[in-house]
Structures are given as structure tokens and as C-alpha cells.
């Protein structure tokens, strides 16, 4: 048993080293394709979290400028208190907005430390009596014209905007990823086929002395699986780069307050990483399995 294990490990390592250029090409292609898949998943998760503010019937949010005067704030509050068109509203001051920001980014202390309550825009989360889209849009327009208002985001418009952005980016990444995954599989197949061809005479001798097909195939299948696993492992750091650079850009942006919610917890990133490792191993195994099935029978 130990001899077999040693044989499988030795032959796999020798084959990987013998076809180093093809091995590196296959690994890098797997890494790039799975990085795109992972980035797509992170963006989708971020989009779902960015729309979490529109819960419990909130139809639009009035974001005030951080330095809005007491008079400007009082004018908005008077309209909300006196308007029969408003069912209810919740005021979220700077500190409450900051505390919400802390909850969203509880696992990113460096990001929380870079933001202070003073830069957080206070907001009114409003539930109108009539949630019909046209009525909400008109009310949002009216509030948007008031002094001290930075932005008014309606649920329909904001969710559509975020989902449209998410869908466009995710679809583009997924299409590229699917193509690259297919290319990765073919590269792994070709790499394993090259290894089989280089050892054709040795395989013929092993068959003559009674070696089974699976005894011959396992080192080649391990080779393909290792291609996929290493490529997937290289894709994992790319997920953290996307989180730290791409999603963080939205989280730190003051241009669109809603995009501050583009937060993905580290736990989700690690779960995605494990999923990518499983996919990478499967891609490598499939490519090598096709190769050994077709080319090791002599």
C-alpha cells in the first residue's frame, strides 16, 4: 500500500516537472477563470447587502449633507410631521449611521477606523401612505429640491440601479470565466495527454506485466487535479484584493451613500474560497479523466 502511494506521488511530481511550461499555463488559466467567478459572486453578495436598507416598507431615503444646518433639518422634519402623505419615518443621525456602518463592517476594523461620525450623512427613511412608484418618485423629487438634502434614493430606483450594475458586471465576468474554465479544462487535458505520450513505452510495458488501467491512470489524474487545486488556491488571494480594492471603493465613496452598503463579510469570502477550491479540483479531475480514458488504453 505504501509502495503504491509513493509510486503515485513520485510519478505525479515527475510528470508535473517534466511538463512545467504546460503545467504553469494550465494553473494560471484556472486561477484567472476562478478569480473572475469569485469576483462575480462577491459583487452579487455586495449588491444584496447594499439594498438591505430598504426593508420594512421603506420606499425612499432622504440623505442630508453631513453639515446640514439645524434650520434645514427642521424644515424637512416639519414637512414629514405635517404631511398626510407620510405614513411614518425614522431619522438616522450621524452617530446612528456610523453605528450602522460599524455593524456592516464589523470584520473590517481598518475601514471603520478610517471613517468618523462627522462624515456620515444623516438620513430620513420614509414610508409613504401610497407606495405607488409614480407617487414615490414625485415625493422624492420634491424632497430632493429642499436645502440641505444631498440625495434622495427611492427603493425602486436604488435597487434597480444596484442590481443593474451587479448584473452587468457579474454577467460579463461569468461569461469570461466560463470561456476560461473551458480553456483550462482543455489545457489540463492537453498537458496530461502530453505526459501520457512521453511515457507511452513505459505504459505499454506496465500493461504487459499486468498493471491495471487504474494503477496507470491515477498519477495522471492526480496531476490534473493538482493543476486545478493550485489554480484555485491562487484565485483565493484575488478575492481579498477585490474586496479590499473594488468593493472598498464603493464603501468609502461619498458620491452615492447607498453604495456604502457594498459590504461582504470575511466569512462569505472564505466560504467562496472553499467553493472555488472544489470547482478547481473538479475541473482538473474532469480534464485529466477525459485524457486518461482516451489515451491510456494500449
User: Of 135, 154, 173, which residue is a domain's last?
Assistant: 154
What's residue 188's pLDDT?
78
- Per-residue pLDDT at 55 exceeds 60: no
Same domain membership, residue 95 and residue 171: no
What's residue 106's pLDDT?
73
Residues linked to residue 89 through DSSP beta bridges, in sequence order: 126
User: Of 154, 189, 219, which residue is a domain's last?
Assistant: 154
Same domain membership, residue 102 and residue 118: yes
What's residue 3's pLDDT?
53
Same domain membership, residue 256 and residue 182: yes
Same domain membership, residue 90 and residue 230: no
Mean pLDDT of 249-276: 70
Same domain membership, residue 65 and residue 31: no
Same domain membership, residue 84 and residue 35: no
Query: What is the number of domains present in the chain?
Result: 2
Higher pLDDT, 257 or 213: 213
The x, y and z cell numbers of residue 198, run together, are 512521453
- Phi first, then psi: give them for residue 88, nearest 5 degrees: -165, 165
Q: Which domain holds residue 149?
A: 60-154
Mean pLDDT of 103-122: 76
Q: What is the pLDDT of residues 140-181, one digit of tens each?
A: 888 888 888 888 877 666 666 677 777 777 788 878 888 888
What's residue 179's pLDDT?
82
User: Of 105, 136, 154, which residue is a domain's last?
Assistant: 154
What's residue 263's pLDDT?
67
Same domain membership, residue 170 and residue 117: no
Higher pLDDT, 201 or 223: 223
What's residue 298's pLDDT?
46
For the question of whether the overall pTM of this predicted structure is more than 0.95, the answer is no
- Per-residue pLDDT at 78 exceeds 60: yes
Please compute Rg for the chain using Cα positions. Answer: 28
Same domain membership, residue 281 and residue 257: yes
Mean pLDDT of 273-295: 81
Same domain membership, residue 238 and residue 106: no
Domain CATH number, residue 105: 3.30.70.3040
What's residue 214's pLDDT?
65
Same domain membership, residue 214 and residue 254: yes
Longest C-alpha distance within the chain, in Å? 94
Same domain membership, residue 249 and residue 102: no
Same domain membership, residue 91 and residue 34: no
What's residue 283's pLDDT?
83
What pLDDT band is residue 204 in, cutting at 50, 70 and 90?
low
Amino acid at each position: 500500500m505504501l509502495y503504491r502511494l509513493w509510486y503515485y506521488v513520485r510519478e505525479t511530481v515527475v510528470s508535473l516537472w517534466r511538463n512545467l511550461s504546460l503545467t504553469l499555463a494550465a494553473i494560471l488559466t484556472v486561477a484567472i477563470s476562478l478569480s473572475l467567478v469569485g469576483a462575480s459572486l462577491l459583487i452579487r453578495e455586495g449588491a444584496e447587502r447594499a439594498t438591505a436598507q430598504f426593508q420594512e416598507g421603506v420606499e425612499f431615503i432622504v440623505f442630508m449633507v453631513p453639515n446640514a444646518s439645524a434650520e434645514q433639518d427642521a424644515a424637512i422634519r416639519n414637512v414629514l410631521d405635517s404631511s398626510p402623505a407620510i405614513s411614518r419615518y425614522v431619522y438616522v443621525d450621524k452617530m446612528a449611521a456610523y453605528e450602522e456602518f460599524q455593524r456592516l463592517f464589523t470584520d473590517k476594523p481598518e475601514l471603520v477606523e478610517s471613517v468618523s461620525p462627522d462624515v456620515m450623512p444623516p438620513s430620513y427613511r420614509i414610508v409613504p401612505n401610497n407606495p405607488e412608484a409614480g407617487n414615490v418618485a414625485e415625493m422624492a423629487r420634491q424632497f430632493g429640491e429642499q436645502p440641505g438634502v444631498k440625495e434622495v434614493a427611492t427603493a425602486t430606483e436604488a435597487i434597480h440601479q444596484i442590481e443593474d450594475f451587479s448584473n452587468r458586471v457579474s454577467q460579463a465576468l461569468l461569461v469570461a470565466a466560463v470561456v476560461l474554465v473551458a480553456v483550462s479544462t482543455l489545457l489540463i487535458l492537453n498537458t496530461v495527454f502530453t505526459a501520457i505520450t512521453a511515457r507511452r513505452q513505459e505504459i505499454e510495458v506496465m500493461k504487459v506485466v499486468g498493471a491495471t488501467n487504474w494503477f496507470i491512470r491515477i498519477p495522471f489524474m492526480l496531476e490534473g487535479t493538482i493543476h486545478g487545486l493550485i489554480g484555485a488556491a491562487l484565485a483565493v488571494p484575488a478575492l481579498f484584493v477585490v474586496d479590499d480594492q473594488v468593493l472598498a471603493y464603493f464603501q468609502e465613496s461619498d458620491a452615492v451613500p447607498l453604495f456604502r452598503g457594498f459590504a461582504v463579510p470575511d466569512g462569505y469570502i472564505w466560504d467562496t474560497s472553499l467553493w472555488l477550491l472544489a470547482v478547481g479540483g473538479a475541473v482538473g479531475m474532469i480534464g485529466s479523466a477525459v485524457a486518461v480514458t482516451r489515451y491510456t488504453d494500449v
